[in-house]
């Protein structure tokens, strides 16, 4: 038994954002019934493929059940209706035109299923103009502002970056969808009524910018086309070291003293006022610091130097790779990766004393659970 | 004042936020956007740094005002026994304690999870720490870019053939906060079902790993280490950012030959559409650098927003990379309440960033902005804790409320 045991969710979503929302809820014990079109979910195409199975589908669809249903046909829509009669929530991520065609228009659906929590994920929300309802994650990262400002200290000549991998905005959108759905399901438990959740992927990106964009919005900082409007100033950056890279942030004189100590108090550091980070953090000083810090840090090993820094209260940390994380002692201690059929799956970011996340089943083959779903 | 029911799916849920700076307050903001009542614990002697950041007036601090929508502020001095005693009473009337203080800080006040359970048996304690609350590396601390580096995000974001520099330095706190909010709601479900509270011990570093989980999983599957690849995509081509007039950049993603041809046609580049090195998807992926260079020559003289509209009309997904000016001047975000106005505790109207969801019927009212320090002392001490006038005045006189 888990936090969402006993809750049934129908997933008509066919993009990573919707599938990720479904997985987050399935991880807490909800029964998530994934409807796949004939031929399988479009996300099955995303590689790498091993033994004919796509990694992205395998990752986003653990703990779910699959039935193949053709929503373009009447029989399929009848099947969906039957499932919705016993469902608590529906996750969809199609455009409004498609939804209207297959009977998933939010208003119409609400008339038929008053108790249903219906989450509709679209790039810009339901109110957006017709040409805004189809966007890929790179477009979402672009429209939401993070790409323009990534990496920090971008030059105009360098292309913006959409983030890690192909789907990062989708994982953020799926998370917000899962938050809203879980909250609405709590209300459903208490009131017996459903709600329509209209989730905008670009608004998720904007929400994540929170105070940084918020102060510009309110006129406390000037809006501009600068690529550096989200930057923090200060010497914080990635630095190459002997076996990879580290990330250093420094904001206080105590941190500066700590760093000087682990560097053995070199002469060049004495040119900096003790409180330069708080009160004299000019671009020239930042450049000068970085230039003189680089040769020293280049010779250090990331884990050793990070450990020494932490002991002095300096937020200097190792840049980890996938391989590092699978071997990371803290991740192992907390059980971040769970194993299914010999494969390591990243799971939830929390240890919970009463209802921990459990992976129970691998992602289904198309239609694998027909008999279980329709006994 | 009395309890104000703002509606929303989490109406009736009270969150005691012993939370500062960013990740914790952002988690509280999301819960407030869903209707939860946020009681933010503050004191003059241990201010939320956001009240001091970017200005000198703690009631007009830009970051703080951008963040604490619909939070209530209560003053409690946690450096004295009387203050801690009041905090314990607040725990007794709360559903969730949200804490992102340094590892062990609450324990030192005598407020371990077990101690909180003794006060309120079904309490939910959501703890946000960089690396979790205990364990071999649990003592380590850092800021958002530290989470991103440790969690494996930074190494996967960068231009090809250069040292990866990660996401913008501000990325990470809000993601950790959102993951915390989700854990809090899951714990509410468990309590609703079983009557049992629990501790949700969040690692911000692991929250960041959740953004690269597909890459981590693929590594386990294939043994091939993932690397940063700019904006490369194996299934879509072309796929990337292309330069436009006035230092603009347009994001373009084509799915299949039809969209590729539509793009080439719209750019008047039939020669590219017919070029054998770009004939199939595999060709376009293999010759990506050449393709992007050719496209860049065509796009760099065009207006970004106009080109994006034209391409979308042809069925090609294309959007400008938005700057702060672009974001602020888009009417859509104002009309759908992505940006919205609130009234701060200090009386000023202020635009803030709203939620990513619209919930109907029964969404939460969001009308008030960030509170003044101690603005809700009366409500918390009199209404919630039921102190009489003498007790309340005595606590103010002793400094426990300050």
Question: Where do the DSSP E strands lie in chain A?
Answer: 8-11, 31-36, 49-50, 53-54, 64-68, 89-92, 117-122, 196-200, 237-241, 244-248, 316-318, 337-340, 343-346, 350-352
CB spacing of A182 vs B189 below 8 angstroms: yes
Block residue for tokens 């009131």: A191
The residue length of chain B stands at 402
In chain B, domain spans: 14-211+332-398, 239-321
Residues A30, A127 share a domain: yes
Q: How confident is the model at residue A1 (pLDDT cuts 50, 70, 90)?
A: confident
Residue A78 lies in a domain: yes
Residues A256, A202 share a domain: no
For an interface test with A, give the residue of B182, B232, B245, B349 to mutate (most A CBs within 10 A).
B182
Q: Who contacts B306 (Cβ-Cβ below 8 Å, separation ≥6)? A: none
Residue A20 lies in a domain: yes
> Which tokens go with B25?
């307050």
Phi-psi region of A111 (alpha: psi -120 to 50; beta: other; left: phi over 0): alpha
Rounded mean pLDDT, B81-108: 96
Task: Report the alpha-carbon distance of residue B386 to residue B207 in Å, rounded.
Answer: 39
> Which tokens go with A328?
């990371």
* Tens digits of residue pLDDT in A3-48: 999 999 999 999 999 999 999 999 999 999 999 999 999 999 999 9
Residues A140, A34 share a domain: yes
What mean pLDDT value characterizes chain A? 97
**Per residue, what are the HEC states of A119-167?**
EEEECCCCCCCHHHCCCCHHHHHHHCCCCCCCCCCCCCCCCCCCCCCCC
**Residue B236: DSSP 8-state:** S
Q: How far apart are the first and last CA of chain A?
A: 22
Among all residues of chain A, which has the CA nearest to that of B206?
A349
CATH at residue A287: 3.30.1540.10
Residue A365 lies in a domain: yes
Residues A288, A149 share a domain: no
Q: How confident is the model at residue B154 (pLDDT cuts 50, 70, 90)?
A: very high
Residue A215 lies in a domain: no
* Parallel/antiparallel/unpaired status of strands B198-203 and B239-244: unpaired
Provide the pLDDT for residue B2.
79
Provide the pLDDT for residue B56.
82
Residue A230 lies in a domain: no
CB proximity A32 to B under 8 Å:
no
Rounded mean pLDDT, A114-137: 97
Closest alpha carbon to A238 in B221, B354, B159, B173:
B159
Partners of B360 in the beta sheet?
A196
Contacts of A232 in chain B (CB under 8 A): 169-170
Q: What are the two backbone dihedrals, phi and then psi, of residue A282, each rounded to the nearest 5 degrees?
A: -80, 155
Q: Which of A146, A319, A323 has the CB atom closest to B219's CB atom?
A: A323
Q: Who contacts A80 (Cβ-Cβ below 8 Å, separation ≥6)? A: A10, A12, A35, A69, A71, A102, A103
Task: Report the alpha-carbon distance of residue A174 to residue B60 in Å, rounded.
Answer: 34
CB spacing of A353 vs B233 below 8 angstroms: no
CB pairs under 8 A between A and B: 508
Residues 210-269 of B with CB under 8 A from A: 210-222, 224-226, 228, 230-231, 233-236, 239-243, 246-247, 249-251, 253, 255
> Which tokens go with A69?
């249903």
For an interface test with A, give the residue of B49, B306, B321 to mutate (most A CBs within 10 A).
B321
Q: Domain B14-211+332-398 - what CATH class? A: alpha beta
Counting residues of chain A whose pLDDT is more than 90, the rounded percentage is 99
* Tens digits of residue pLDDT in A167-221: 999 999 999 999 999 999 999 999 999 999 999 999 999 999 999 999 999 999 9
Q: Who contacts B51 (Cβ-Cβ below 8 Å, separation ≥6)? A: B42, B58, B61, B64, B373
Query: Distances in Å between the alpha carbon of A94 and those of A54, A122, A142, A144, B240?
Result: 21, 7, 20, 19, 23
CB proximity B140 to A under 8 Å:
yes
Contacts of B29 in chain A (CB under 8 A): 210
* Tens digits of residue pLDDT in B173-221: 999 999 999 999 999 999 999 999 999 999 999 999 999 999 999 999 9
* DSSP codes of every residue in B340-376: EEEE-TTS-EEEEE--SEEEETTPPP--B-PPPTTTT
Task: Report the alpha-carbon distance of residue A140 to residue A276 in Å, rounded.
Answer: 38
Task: Report the alpha-carbon distance of residue A195 to residue A200 in Å, rounded.
Answer: 16
Give the angle A194-B122-A190 at the CA atoms, nearest 5°: 15
Instruction: Assess whether the previous peptide bond of A48 is cis (omega < 30° from 0).
Output: yes
Split into its structural domains, chain A has a count of: 2
Q: How confident is the model at residue A327 (pLDDT cuts 50, 70, 90)?
A: very high
ipTM of the prediction greater than 0.90, yes or no: yes
Q: Who contacts B289 (Cβ-Cβ below 8 Å, separation ≥6)? A: none
Closest alpha carbon to A145 in A59, A230, A75:
A230
Provide the pLDDT for residue A375.
86
Task: Report the alpha-carbon distance of residue A372 to residue A66 in Å, rounded.
Answer: 10
- State whether residue B286 is helix, strand or coil: helix
Query: Distances in Å between the alpha carbon of B139 and those of A83, A353, B79, B87, B152?
Result: 48, 20, 22, 25, 19
Q: Which of A143, A167, A247 has the CB atom closest to B322's CB atom?
A: A143
Q: Tell me: pLDDT of B118 over 80.
A: yes
Query: Distances in Å between the alpha carbon of B198 and those of A179, A331, B191, B380?
Result: 18, 21, 8, 24
For an interface test with A, give the residue of B19, B189, B306 to mutate (most A CBs within 10 A).
B189
CB proximity A224 to B under 8 Å:
yes
Residue A17 lies in a domain: yes
Among all residues of chain B, which has the CA nearest to that of A226?
B323
Q: Tell me: pLDDT of B255 over 90.
A: yes
Contacts of B206 in chain A (CB under 8 A): 331, 334, 336, 348-350
Provide the pLDDT for residue A113.
97
Contact A295, A231 (CB under 8 A): no
* DSSP codes of every residue in A67-122: EE--TTSHHHHHHHHHHHHT-SEEEE---HHHHHHHT--HHHHHHH-TT-EEEEEE
Counting residues of chain A whose pLDDT is more than 70, the rounded percentage is 100
Q: Alpha-carbon Rg of chain B, whole angstroms?
A: 25
Q: Which domain holds residue A257?
A: 237-319
CB proximity A196 to B under 8 Å:
yes
Among all residues of chain B, which has the CA nearest to that of A168?
B211
Burial of B300 (0-12, 13-18, 19+ CB in 10 A): middle
Provide the pLDDT for residue B3.
86
* Parallel/antiparallel/unpaired status of strands A64-68 and A89-92: unpaired
* Tens digits of residue pLDDT in B64-90: 999 999 999 999 999 999 999 999 999
Residues A167, A138 share a domain: yes
What mean pLDDT value characterizes chain B? 96
**Residue A364: DSSP 8-state:** P
Rounded mean pLDDT, A303-315: 96
pTM beyond cutoff 0.80: yes
Give the angle A87-A12-B214 at the CA atoms, nearest 5°: 115
Q: Which of A58, A224, A333 has the CB atom closest to B136's CB atom?
A: A333
Residue A122 lies in a domain: yes
Q: Domain B239-321 - what CATH class? A: alpha beta
Task: Report the alpha-carbon distance of residue A350 to residue A357 in Å, rounded.
Answer: 8
Q: How far is CA B208 from the centre of its chain?
A: 11
Contact A167, A174 (CB under 8 A): no
Residues A347, A315 share a domain: no
CA distance A330 to chain B (A): 6
């Amino acid at each position: 038994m888990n936090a969402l045991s006993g809750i049934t969710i129908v997933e008509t979503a066919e993009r990573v954002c919707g599938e990720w929302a479904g997985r987050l809820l399935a991880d807490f014990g909800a029964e998530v019934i994934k409807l796949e079109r004939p031929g399988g979910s479009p996300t099955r195409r995303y590689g790498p493929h091993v033994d004919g199975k796509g990694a992205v589908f395998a990752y986003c669809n653990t703990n779910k059940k699959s039935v193949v249903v053709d929503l373009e046909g009447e029989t399929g829509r009848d099947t969906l209706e039957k499932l919705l009669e016993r469902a608590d929530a529906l996750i969809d991520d199609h455009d409004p035109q498609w939804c209207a065609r297959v009977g998933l228009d939010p208003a119409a659906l609400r008339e038929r299923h008053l108790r249903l929590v219906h989450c509709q994920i679209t790039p810009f929300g339901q109110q957006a103009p017709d040409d805004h309802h189809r966007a890929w994650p790179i477009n979402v990262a672009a429209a939401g502002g993070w790409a323009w400002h990534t990496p920090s200290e971008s030059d105009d000549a360098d292309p913006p970056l959409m983030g890690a991998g192909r789907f990062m905005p989708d994982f953020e959108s799926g998370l917000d969808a899962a938050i809203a759905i879980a909250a609405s399901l709590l209300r459903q438990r208490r009131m017996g009524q459903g709600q329509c959740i209209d989730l905008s992927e670009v608004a998720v990106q904007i929400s994540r910018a929170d105070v940084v964009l918020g102060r510009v919005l309110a006129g406390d900082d000037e809006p501009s086309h600068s690529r550096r409007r989200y930057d923090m100033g200060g010497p914080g950056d990635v630095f190459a070291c002997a076996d990879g890279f580290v990330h250093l942030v420094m904001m206080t004189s105590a941190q500066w003293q700590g760093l000087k100590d682990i560097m053995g108090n070199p002469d060049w550091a004495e040119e900096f006022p003790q409180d330069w980070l708080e009160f004299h953090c000019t671009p020239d000083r930042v450049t000068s610091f970085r230039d003189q810090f680089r040769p020293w840090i280049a010779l250090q090993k990331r884990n050793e130097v990070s450990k020494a820094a932490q002991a002095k209260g300096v937020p200097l940390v190792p840049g980890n790779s996938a391989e590092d994380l699978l071997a990371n002692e803290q991740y192992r201690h907390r059980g971040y990766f769970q194993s299914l059929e010999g494969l390591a799956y990243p799971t939830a970011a929390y240890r919970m004393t009463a209802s921990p996340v459990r992976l129970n089943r691998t992602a289904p083959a198309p239609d694998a659970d027909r008999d279980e779903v329709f006994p | 004042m009395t309890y104000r029911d703002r509606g929303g799916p989490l109406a009736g849920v009270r969150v005691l936020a012993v939370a500062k700076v960013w990740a914790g307050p952002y988690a509280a903001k999301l819960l407030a956007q869903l209707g939860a009542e946020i009681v933010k614990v503050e004191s003059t002697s241990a201010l939320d740094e956001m009240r001091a950041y970017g200005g000198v007036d703690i009631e007009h601090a830009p970051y703080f005002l951008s963040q604490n929508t619909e939070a209530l502020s209560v003053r409690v001095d946690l450096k004295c026994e009387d203050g801690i005693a009041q905090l314990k009473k607040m725990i007794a009337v709360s559903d969730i304690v949200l804490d992102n203080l340094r590892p062990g800080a609450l324990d030192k006040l005598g407020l371990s999870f077990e101690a909180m359970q003794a006060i309120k048996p079904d309490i939910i304690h959501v703890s946000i720490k960089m690396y979790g609350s205990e364990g071999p590396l649990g003592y380590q601390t850092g800021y958002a870019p530290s989470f991103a580096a440790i969690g494996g995000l930074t190494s996967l974001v960068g231009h090809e053939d250069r040292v990866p520099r990660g996401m913008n330095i501000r990325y990470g706190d809000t993601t950790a906060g959102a993951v915390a909010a989700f854990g809090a709601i899951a714990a509410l479900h468990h309590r609703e079902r079983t009557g049992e509270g629990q501790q949700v011990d969040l690692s911000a570093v692991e929250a960041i790993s959740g953004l690269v989980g597909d890459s981590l999983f693929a590594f386990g599957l294939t043994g091939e280490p993932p690397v940063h690849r700019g904006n490369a995509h194996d299934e879509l081509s072309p796929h990337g950012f292309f330069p436009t007039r006035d230092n603009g950049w347009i994001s373009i993603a084509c799915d299949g030959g039809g969209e590729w041809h539509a793009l080439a046609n719209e750019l008047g580049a039939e020669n590219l559409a017919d070029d054998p090195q770009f004939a199939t998807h595999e060709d376009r992926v293999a010759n990506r650098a050449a393709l992007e260079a050719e496209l860049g020559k065509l796009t760099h003289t065009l207006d970004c927003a106009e080109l994006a509209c034209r391409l979308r009309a042809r069925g090609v997904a294309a959007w400008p990379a938005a700057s702060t000016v672009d974001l602020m001047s888009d009417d859509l975000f104002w009309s759908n309440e992505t940006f919205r106005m609130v009234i701060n505790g200090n009386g000023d109207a202020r635009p803030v960033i709203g939620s990513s969801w619209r919930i109907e019927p029964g969404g939460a009212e969001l009308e008030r902005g960030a509170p003044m320090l101690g603005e809700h002392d009366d409500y918390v001490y009199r209404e919630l804790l039921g102190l009489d006038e003498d007790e309340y005045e005595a606590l103010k006189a002793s400094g426990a409320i300050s």
